[in-house]
């Protein structure tokens, strides 16, 4: 994250939850330190086969919103102007013609107004912790809770309806945080799916967390694929990004996933995951839909916890963007 100190030079710090920055000098470019203060829609999926190894406010204040106002320009292809997390959803349709959706959860506290399918078990818009503004989505788990919340955002021909034009390539970016002291990991986080009439779940690329290693992984269920096993899964692609690293708990992390549909009958599809802008999973030459003409058409954030939460605790989502081009982390 970047900001400008009072004499006009740039300084940089890492964004970690709520911050306090210690500016050493204002006469030269300096690195500064940051200190942390502080009913199911098919969520219970079995998963695939074997794995493939594939700021701060000047003067020491703790107002995170002031810090976020000074983010550096976004690296996305269509940004065209300085962009901040704080303002990226303001006028996004005109600023980002390749964006299909942007939600910082500041406009309404009713998720049903923006998302056609939701599960609200402990799940909703909250002011407890936000990356930008004052609101985010919070999933509050009770002890032993399994079923939890979700939102679906549809495009193209989801559920046999016509929401928008099909997209052969799609990007989804969101920020996510496990609160400080979070114990265990819920395997589910996000997915891109193809859903037909009557909730026919045709195929999906899942952005999940491996329950044994705590590493982010791509688990891909594509029963029409010529490359899938007898259960319709591709080998899981496990990243090296792990939530066993305590530095990844109690801070906002920028997640992005990309899926390219294959040409019908060919193995030329692809999927890629990034964490904090760093590529962590990449697969190319993939058959995702076989010889069908089905499209990916649904984005889901979900919090189902196979086995249940070991205690009462919370996780958060903020700044969801869906696009036909790379989005990036808005200067993070």
Is the pTM higher than 0.85? The answer reads no
Instruction: Render 75-139 in DSSP notation, one character per residue.
Output: --TT--S---TTTTTTTHHHH-TTEEEEE-S-S-S-GGGT-SEEE-SSEEEESS--SSTT-EEEE
- Classify residue 238 as left (phi > 0), alpha (psi -120 to 50) or beta: beta
Segment 80-114, tens digit of pLDDT? 434 588 899 999 999 999 999 999 999 999 999 99
Q: Are 125 and 149 in contact (CB under 8 A)?
A: no
The closest alpha carbon to 205, from 195, 216, 190, 215, belongs to 190
pLDDT at 306: 96
User: Over the stretch 252-263, which tens digit does the pLDDT of each residue have?
Assistant: 999 999 999 999
Enter the DSSP assignment of 251: S
Compute the Cα dihedral for 148, 154, 160, 161 and give only its sign. Answer: positive
Q: Is the pLDDT of residue 1 over 50?
A: no
**The sheet that has 2-4: what strands, in order across it?**
2-4, 10-12, 30-31
Which residue, 256, 191, 257, is CA-closest to 220?
191
Res. 17: pLDDT tops 90: no
Closest CA to 301 of 134, 146, 189: 189
pLDDT the model gives residue 84: 82
Helix (H/G/I), strand (E/B), else coil: 287:
coil
Distance CA 25, CA 135 (A): 34
pLDDT at position 48: 57
Backbone CA torsion sign across 153, 100, 89, 131: positive
Residue 76 to residue 69: CA distance in whole angstroms: 18
**288: how many CB neighbours lie within 10 A of its CB?**
28
Residue 68: both structure tokens together: 């976020």
- Spatial contact of 210 and 47, defined as CB atoms under 8 Å apart: no
d(CA 115, CA 151): 6
Q: Report the SS3 class of residue 283.
A: strand
Q: Are 19 and 34 in contact (CB under 8 A)?
A: yes
What residue ranges define each of the domains in the chain, with the CATH number in brackets? 2-323 (2.60.120.200)
For residues 207 and 176, what is the distance between their CA atoms, to the nearest angstrom? 12
CA dist 249 and 142 (Å) reads 19
Task: For tokens 């400008």, name the residue.
Answer: 4
CA distances from 236 to 43, 73, 157, 269, 275 (A): 17, 34, 27, 16, 17
User: Is 323 a residue whose pLDDT tops 80?
Assistant: yes
- Give the model's confidence band at 330: pLDDT under 50 very low, under 70 low, under 90 confident, else very high: confident
């Amino acid at each position: 994250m970047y900001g400008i100190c009072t004499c006009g030079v740039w300084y940089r710090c890492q964004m970690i939850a709520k911050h306090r920055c210690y500016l050493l000098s204002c006469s030269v470019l300096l690195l500064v330190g940051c200190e942390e203060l502080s009913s199911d829609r098919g969520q219970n999926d079995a998963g695939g086969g074997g794995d493939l190894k594939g700021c701060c406010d000047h003067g020491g204040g703790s107002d995170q919103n002031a810090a976020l106002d000074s983010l550096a320009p976004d690296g996305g292809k269509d940004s065209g102007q300085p962009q901040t997390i704080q303002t990226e959803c303001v006028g996004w349709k005109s600023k980002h013609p390749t964006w299909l959706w942007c939600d910082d959860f500041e406009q309404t506290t009713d998720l049903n107004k923006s998302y056609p399918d939701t599960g609200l078990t402990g799940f909703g818009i909250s002011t407890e912790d936000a990356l930008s503004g004052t609101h985010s989505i919070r999933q509050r788990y009770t002890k032993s809770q399994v079923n939890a919340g979700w939102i679906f955002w549809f495009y193209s021909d989801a559920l046999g309806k016509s929401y928008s034009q099909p997209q052969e390539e799609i990007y989804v970016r969101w920020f996510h945080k496990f609160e400080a002291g979070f114990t265990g990991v819920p395997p589910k986080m996000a997915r891109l799916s193809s859903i037909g009439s009557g909730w026919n779940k045709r195929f999906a690329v899942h952005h999940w967390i491996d329950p044994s290693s705590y590493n982010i992984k791509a688990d891909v269920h594509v029963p029409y694929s010529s490359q899938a096993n007898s259960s319709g899964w591709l080998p899981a692609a496990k990243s090296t990004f792990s939530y066993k690293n305590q530095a990844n708990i109690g801070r906002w992390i920028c997640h992005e996933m990309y899926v390219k549909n294959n040409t019908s009958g060919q193995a030329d599809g692809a999927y890629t995951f990034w964490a904090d802008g760093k590529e962590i999973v990449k697969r190319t030459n993939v058959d995702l839909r076989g010889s069908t003409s089905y499209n990916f058409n649904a984005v889901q954030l979900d919090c189902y916890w196979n086995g249940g939460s070991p205690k009462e605790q919370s996780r958060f989502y903020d700044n969801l963007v869906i696009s036909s081009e790379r989005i990036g982390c808005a200067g993070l």
